[in-house]
Structure 1
Amino acid sequence: MSDNTANADNYIERMKEAKDKAAVLKYRLVTTRGDLPDAVIFVFEGDDDKTVYFNWVSRICPELEYEPFTCRGKRKVLQLRDVVLRDKSDLADGIYFFVDRDFDDLQGHPEHENTFMTDRYSVENYLVDDVVLKEFLKNEFHCHGNPKVREPIIRAFGTLYERFLKVTEHINLRVFLARKLGINASALPDRINALVTLQLSSVTVVDTALPDIVRLDREPTEAEILALLEEFSSLAPSHRYRGKFSLKFFEKWLELLAADYGDDNTIFFGSIDRVAKVKRSEITLGSMASKSPHPHGLPDFLQGVEAPSKQSNAA
């Protein structure tokens, strides 16, 4: 590698790091506020959260207008919030922050009336739900008017999802330990086949060593594991295990279900007319959110949202 190439790569890395700094995020936020002085601003962890919350807010408070602002992760949202709350002007007026609970809640930051945290691990945990599947079956899978076709599919999904959560328990525990102990973890798996081997009616753990699935800067000690094991065991897996893992499972299973719909030897759809094709392009994050339950407490939080002009007048 030439010196020029190395310098260019280093410059790109520095630029990426700079974009993450709270001061830079504050500058972006101030610029947005300057362009939209009367707007409510919702700060999200990323684009997926922005999409999901758009659907939830539209259902709960269709009259509420806001401008989305995204950061690069939960830590940056909370750092930006701290900077905004320390600001001596009225910058915080009309700005609200949304974070996932994850395994580390608010990461030691205090609660605040302008901050909403999910009661489940993340927004994805609300999307992997029987209600969402039922609506997909009615519409995208053309099983409307056929509850006797839908019900076995929903039962089969529930059984397999429970199995998936069980076989990935050790992976979730490792992530949990890392978050609780402040151990840095490299990029977590973002493909379902890095976690499990999934078929329409079966799921098995991959033959990969756990330290290679979730890479940590150091291994937790036996004493650290024992101290945290009871807390981890108390978590409800479907609500409190890592949501991105569950969503990958759901997305892949829906792909397999769509393939079964088109198969001459279908397992689930033999009793219905399958002239129409599954609407795969309409099975998206947004469509899941439009059908899913929303976080507990979100309606009350949204009812308390006020534009900056109203807050200033109240002050």
Structure 2
Amino acid sequence: MTNIVDKLRLAKHRPHVALHDYTVLRSKAPNCLVCVFEGHEDYPYYDTVFRKLIDEVDYRALVVNGKDQVLGLRELLFKRETPSDKKVAYFIDKDFDGFKQFQPSENTYCTTGYSIENNLCSNSILHPLLAQEYLCHKTGEESTIETVTEKFLARLYEFTDLMRDSNRAIFFARKQNIRLQGITNQITKYINIDINRITATGANHLTLIGWPDEIDASAIPESITEFEALSPLQDWRGKFVLGVYTELLHKLKDDRCSATPKHFNIKAGMKFNPKGEIIRTLALLSPIPQCLRTFALNLPMSNQNRSTPA
């Protein structure tokens, strides 16, 4: 039974499944640009970017469940070389393994950091979030913005210290083609998060990242030159980064709505939900990487009038 389940699971990740979904979509939109994304989180991010840059957006989105499926579909369509198949753009996360065994191409965008989640956690968006969503401007607490931001950034520093070994192990696994048995993305399994301090939960991080039992974890070097050169908040696993970011925002909301807030001067009710569907909200506030700006503005979206935001 286990083998059958594994085979069915693997079948869902084959590019021919993505090709079938593409063919169905293309039959309904024969002349439209198709944008192929790895996951459902990518769609609202890139759609927000498109709409920030382009006045009239006309395309169809196809989510195919993973980088291998995006690039595998691209290879299958390259072989067909039909006119409509050329109106396709592909979007992948760099992760720790880049294009893997595939080659870059002009119609494929790869994130500059680990994933789109890293783009959503820019320090520059903390000020507008606190001012607007946390109502600091409305309640005259502009000075609080700076003190809360300092605490927030201090917690992110603690996060990078506590999650270094986990990210290094994932990095090593990707470089050595070690198959991990499912990475737990829930950041609170790894660390306890509070506005005043972040601490380890005591859980085994190797177990949480799905390190295989048959491979001795002592093989992971204590220092890997290529890994140490990475920027943690930009180049480490994006779901971890976004996880700690949103958890801290949630803790701030709890405090802001408390009868006796510790990090704000007064209580204020707020509607913003850091644990809701916030990708579009963060994408609206986050700066667009220049390479993504250039890529998006050159997409063959019909009836487009390009805007020139700052």
Question: Structure 2-normalised TM-score?
Answer: 0.88
- Is 1:77 the counterpart of 2:77 in the alignment? no
Structure 1 residue aligned with 2:162: 167
**Match of 2:129, SS?**
helix
Cross-structure match for 1:101: 94
**Cα deviation, residue 59, structure 1:** 0.7
1:189·1:195 contact (CA, 8 Å) conserved in 2?
no
* Distance of 1:169 and 1:22 partners within structure 2: 33
Cα deviations by residue, 1:196-222 (Å, 9 ceiling, x for unpaired):
011121001221233222222323664
Aligned-partner residue type, residue 219 of structure 1: D
Report the Cα distance in structure 2 between the residues aligned to 1:231 and 1:119, rounded to whole angstroms: 16
Q: Is the 8 A contact 2:35 2:60 kept in 1?
A: yes
Structure 1 residue 189 corresponds to structure 2 residue 184: yes
Q: Give distance in 1, aligned partners of 2:56 and 2:69.
A: 29
* Residue 222 (structure 2) pairs with residue 232 (structure 1): no
Letter in 2 for 1:190: N
Counterpart residue number, 2:115: 122
SS at match of 1:86: helix
Residue in structure 1 matching 2:296, options 302, 305, 309: 302
- Residue pairs, 1:1-315, within 5 angstroms: 15-144=8-137, 146-217=141-212, 218-219=215-216, 222=219, 225=221, 229-270=224-265, 272=266, 274-280=267-273, 284-306=278-300
Distance in 2 (alpha carbons) for counterparts of 1:262 and 1:283: 20
Give the distance between the partners of 1:179 and 1:39, measured in 2 at CA.
36
Moved more, 41-50 or 200-209: 200-209
Q: Which runs of 5+ in 1 are unaligned?
A: 1-5, 309-315
Query: Could you state the TM-score of these two structures normalised by the residue count of structure 1?
Result: 0.87
* Distance (whole Å) between structure 2 residues aligned to residue 80 and residue 12 of structure 1: 24
How far is 1:11 from its partner? Answer: 6.7
Deviation at 1:241?
0.7
Contact 1:118 1:296 in 2 (8 A): no
Give me the identity figure in percent. Answer: 24
Q: Partners of 1:59 and 1:219 in 2: how far apart? A: 48
Per-residue deviation, 1:155: 1.4
Return the letter of the residue paired with 2:216.
Answer: E
Kept after mapping to 2: 8 A contact 1:100/1:123: yes
Cα deviation code 1:131-178 (max 9, x no counterpart): 322222122211125321111111111111111111100010001001
Contact 1:168/1:205 (<8 A) preserved: no
**Equivalent position SS for 1:125:** helix
Structure-1 separation of matches of 2:15 and 2:253: 44
Give per-residue Cα distances to partners, 1:26-47, cap 9 Å, x unaligned. Answer: 1221221121011111000011
Aligned length: 297
Contact 1:42 1:66 in 2 (8 A): yes
* Structure 1 residues 263 and 283, CA gap change in structure 2 (3 angstroms): farther
Q: 1:30–1:287: structure 2 CA closer, same or farther, 3 Å change rule? A: same
For structure 1, which segment, 86-95 or 71-80, has the greater mean C-alpha deviation from structure 2 after superposition? Answer: 86-95
SS across alignment from 1:225: coil
1:92-141 CA-to-partner distances (Å, cap 9, x unmatched) read 31100000111001012111001000101100001112232222212221
Partner Cα distance (1:44, 1:154) in 2: 33
Change (3 A) 1:283 1:86: closer
Partner letter of residue 258 of structure 1? K
- 2:13·2:66 contact (CA, 8 Å) conserved in 1? no
